[in-house]
Amino acid sequence: MQANPQNQKPEPRNSTYDIAIVGGGMVGAALACALGGSRLRVVLVDAGPEPEPPAGGEYDLRVSAVTRASERIFRALGAWEGMVSRRVAPYREMHVWDAVGGSGGIHFDCAELGEDNLGYIIENRVIRAALLERLREHGNVECRFGTSLTGLRRLDEEAVLRTGGGEIRARLVVGADGARSWVRDQVGVAVEGWDYGHTAIVATVQTAEPHGETARQRFLPEGPLAFLPLGEPRTCSIVWSTGHAHAEALLALDEGEFRAELEGAFGSAPGAVTRVGPRAGFPLRMRHAEHYVVERVALVGDAAHTIHPLAGQGVNLGLLDAATLAEVLLAGTAAGRDPGGLATLRRYERWRRGDNLLMIAAMEGFKRLFAGSLSPLAWARNLGLEITDRLPPLKALFMRRALGLGGDLPRLARGLPPGEAA
């Protein structure tokens, strides 16, 4: 990707901004886009190299289930067309069922809500590339890839990031640097959490029958296994969450052996697995920061919270964080408030922390509910799935929440600009 000299500049020894975003992944890039075109001077800092544009070909191992709310955010940021021009895969139906104790299941169809689809499966690299492409159109935002940070100190009116070549000063530093956040550690924010006891195995597979733009998830005694439809009709991304020892054994199998295990675990839909691409495993932990904000610093995305991927909500929660923080910062600065002051930042924390806690609790409840194989629990699970499937109002409530259309949404998630950009 060629650097745009307008916003990829040689780093001076000392430079000053309003907002410094540490982490150029999906959430950090979305936040920078949301602040683009405003009066704020913004810098996006990332220690990694500038990413190359996706070249098509094989699907990336890392994909995200993007909700309708996240789609609205991308559209409002002007990045959606960049994703569509690469590749996105809508899913219009979802089928979830229990592998233990009966045939209980629930089926969601976008037509029941009058929506075009339930969401999209998009490669993480495609999302990031489209956001960075859009970001470079904003003259008030600079991108600094390959910039290592060596320290962070907070002063009364600014925060100072030390780099190998000098300092970056900003009224607010945003940690969008992932689950092992350097920013979070630098300011001493504690993290609550636990090991889920699971590793998520991801791979791209091909099946004998078309997936029919249907996402499928089966709850096994060891953990959930999902088949997520990709753009080609017989290609899916799988996410298999299982115990660490079981995952290690599965990753050690050759393709034929793994294919047999996968078919045995998932059943017949959508047909026999004919090919399995490269596999990778990622240990799963729940993390939740004790605080999302301190004076001069805010945390977004995985730096603030990580959850089990069984409902595919991780990146969507992070995008809502970014949309909310942008709205709060733009409203605050329009009113003459300090963007790094706690009076401004606490509004963001109050807005997002409660919703994120509810999602963390829901995912933990689902995980525990579907982890057991005892007969009474399995019977209750199956009955609950069947009842929900037969009660349209309750089912619609679940569907709207899954689409990200419920709760107190920021403006971007409603398809509106985040605030005054003049």
Q: What is the pLDDT of residues 83-122, one digit of tens each?
A: 999 999 999 998 888 766 555 677 888 888 788 899 999 9
Give residues with Cβ within 8 angstroms of 321, minimum separation 6.
Answer: 27, 300, 301, 304, 352, 356
Query: Is 0.75 topped by the overall pTM?
Result: yes
Mean pLDDT of 344-372: 76
Tokens 């209750």, residue? Answer: 380
Percent of the chain whose predicted confidence (pLDDT) is above 70: 83
Sign of CA dihedral 171, 191, 288, 357: negative
What CA–CA distances, in Å, run from 164 to 167, 187, 259?
A: 8, 20, 48
Residue 308 CA: distances (Å) to CA of 245, 318, 387, 409: 18, 14, 25, 22
CB 224 within 8 A of CB 231: no
Average pLDDT over residues 265-271: 83
* DSSP single-letter state for residue 188: T
Q: What is the mean pLDDT of the chain?
A: 87
If we measure between CA atoms, which residue out of 391, 385, 358 comes closest to residue 370? 385
pLDDT at residue 13 tops 70: no
Separation of alpha carbons 267 and 12, rounded Å: 59
Of 42-56, 86-100, 322-336, 397-411, the poorest mean pLDDT is in 397-411
- pLDDT of 178-216, one tens digit each? 999 999 999 999 999 888 889 999 999 999 999 999 999
pLDDT of residue 197: 87
| Listed residue (152, 131, 149, 123) closest to 59, CA to CA | 123
Q: What is the pLDDT of residue 238?
A: 96
Domains in the chain, start-ordered, CATH in brackets? 14-91+117-193+286-413 (3.50.50.60), 196-285 (3.30.9.10)
Distance between CA atoms of residues 226 and 91, nearest Å: 13
**Which has more confidence, 80 or 104?**
80
Task: State the Cα–Cα distance between residues 298 and 340, nearest whole angstrom.
Answer: 8
**How far is the C-alpha of 299 from the C-alpha of 155, rounded, in Å?**
18
Residue 407 has pLDDT above 90, yes or no: no
Say what the pLDDT of residue 310 is: 62
